[in-house]
């Protein structure tokens, strides 16, 4: 591969990094592989002030490769994660088994809550995250099964429901970005709905619309997600993910 050739996974990593580029000195909390890669890329490029952890119990002073260790700069056991959630200096990027037009997310269960067709993790921290700190979502396989008209169970709270629940819920509700393997979205659509921000290089708007189970707010001219820079590609390949773990999540088609 030449220095400037890039894969879809690299595009996703750069798009995730961009979601954290203007956060300043806050705790970046990525759940899963591509979000971790993207956050570390942001820390090495656009936002060196990001505070990152090993996903377990310590803040890392440096920016190690995925799965690697580094100098410890702080202590963040689970109880202190809850403290930071309430404190607010945090941006979490979670997964989403379902996400709907209003930016509600589900990781609890599929089907009826009383007797689900498929029990998932449980709501975890999604209800608290979404009314306390900036929250984004990462969807590695964009499809109509994930992007649904209405989620079966609301774990993460979108802006409309937060507004309906009152200022206690709405004050700090901040659904920032949804990044999928096809495109980037925000909640800037009419009535705080999901809006298409950009389609990844090689992906058409029609393709995204087709893979989305709700009416997508899209501008007349949808930009293309920016290509990763040569520096970013070098950082991804040589420093953060030399083993190519990202291709397990987003295969190099």
Partner 1 sequence: MSRKPRDKRMSIDEVIGSLESGMTIGIGGWGPRRKPMALVRALYNSDLTDLTIVSWGGADVGLLARAGKIRRLVYAFVSLDSVPLEPNFQRARQAAPESGLAIPEIVELDEGMFQTGLKAAAERLPFLPMRAGLGSDVLVNNPWITTVTSPYDEGHGHEELVAVPALRLDAALVHLNRADPHGNASYLGPDPYFDDLFAMAADRTYVSVEQVVDTAGLTVDTPVQRLLLSRMMVTGVVETPNGAHFSTCTPDYERDERFQRAYAAAASGSDEDWQAFHDRFLAGDEASYQAAVQAFTEETTK
The contact set with partner 1 (CB under 8 A) reads: 56-58, 77-79, 82, 85-86, 108-109, 113-128, 130-132, 153-157, 161-162, 164-169, 171-173
Q: Judged by CB, which is closer to partner 1: 132, or 212?
A: 132
Beta carbon of residue 225, minimum distance to partner 1 (angstroms, whole number)? 28
Q: Which residues pair with 217 in a beta bridge?
A: 195
Q: Output 7 or 129, the one with its CB closest to partner 1.
A: 129
SS3 for the chain is: CCCCCCCHHHHHHHHHHHHCCCCCCCEEEECCHHHHHHHHHHHHCCCCCCEEECCCCEEECCCCCCCCCCCEEEECCHHHHHHHHHHCCEEEEEECCEEECCCCEECCEEECCCCEEEECCCCCCHHHHHCCCEEEEEECCCCCCCEECCCCCCCECCHHHHHHCCHHHHCCCCEEEEEECCEEEEEEECCCEEEEEEECCCCCHHHHHHCCCCCCECCCCCCECCCCCHHHHHHHHHHHCCCCCHHHHCCCC
**Closest distance to partner 1 from the beta carbon of 80 (Å):** 9
- The burial of 245, by beta-carbon neighbours within 10 Å (0-12 exposed, 13-18 middle, 19 or more buried), is given as middle
C-beta closer to partner 1: residue 174 or 232 = 174
Output the six-digit token pair for 222.
């949808």
Cβ nearer to partner 1, comparing 15 with 169: 169
Q: Which is nearer to partner 1, 13 or 109 (CB)?
A: 109
Q: Provide the minimum distance between the beta carbon of 244 and partner 1 in the complex, in angstroms, as a whole number.
A: 20
Rank residues 126 and 236 by Cβ distance to partner 1 and give the closer one: 126
The least CB distance from residue 245 to partner 1, in Å, is: 15
Closer CB to partner 1, 79 or 220, in the complex = 79
CB of 187 to partner 1, least distance (A): 14
CB of 151 to partner 1, least distance (A): 9
How far apart (Å, rounded) are the C-alpha atoms in residues 71 and 59?
Answer: 9
- Cβ at position 34, least distance to partner 1 in Å: 16
């Amino acid at each position: 591969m030449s220095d400037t050739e890039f894969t879809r996974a690299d595009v996703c990593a750069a798009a995730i990094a961009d979601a954290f580029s203007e956060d300043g000195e806050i705790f970046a909390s990525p759940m899963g592989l591509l979000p971790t890669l993207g956050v570390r890329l942001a820390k090495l490029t656009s936002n060196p002030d990001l505070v990152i952890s090993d996903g377990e119990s310590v803040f890392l002073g440096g920016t190690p490769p995925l799965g690697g260790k580094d100098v410890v700069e702080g202590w963040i056991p689970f109880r202190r994660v809850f403290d930071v959630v309430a404190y607010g200096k945090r941006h979490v990027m979670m997964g989403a088994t379902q996400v709907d037009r209003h930016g509600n997310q589900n990781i609890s269960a599929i089907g009826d809550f009383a007797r689900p067709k498929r029990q998932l993790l449980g709501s975890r921290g999604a209800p608290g995250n979404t009314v306390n700190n900036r929250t984004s979502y990462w969807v590695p396989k964009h499809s109509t099964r994930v992007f649904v008209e209405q989620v079966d169970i609301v774990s993460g709270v979108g802006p409309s429901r937060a507004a309906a629940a009152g200022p206690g819920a709405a004050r700090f509700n901040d659904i920032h970005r949804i990044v999928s393997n096809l495109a980037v979205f925000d909640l800037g659509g009419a009535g705080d709905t999901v809006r298409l921000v950009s389609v990844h290089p090689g992906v058409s708007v029609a393709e995204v619309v087709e893979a989305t189970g709700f009416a997508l707010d899209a501008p007349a001219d949808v930009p293309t997600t920016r290509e990763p820079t040569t520096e970013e590609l070098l950082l991804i390949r040589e420093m953060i993910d030399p083993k190519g773990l990202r291709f397990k999540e987003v295969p190099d088609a």
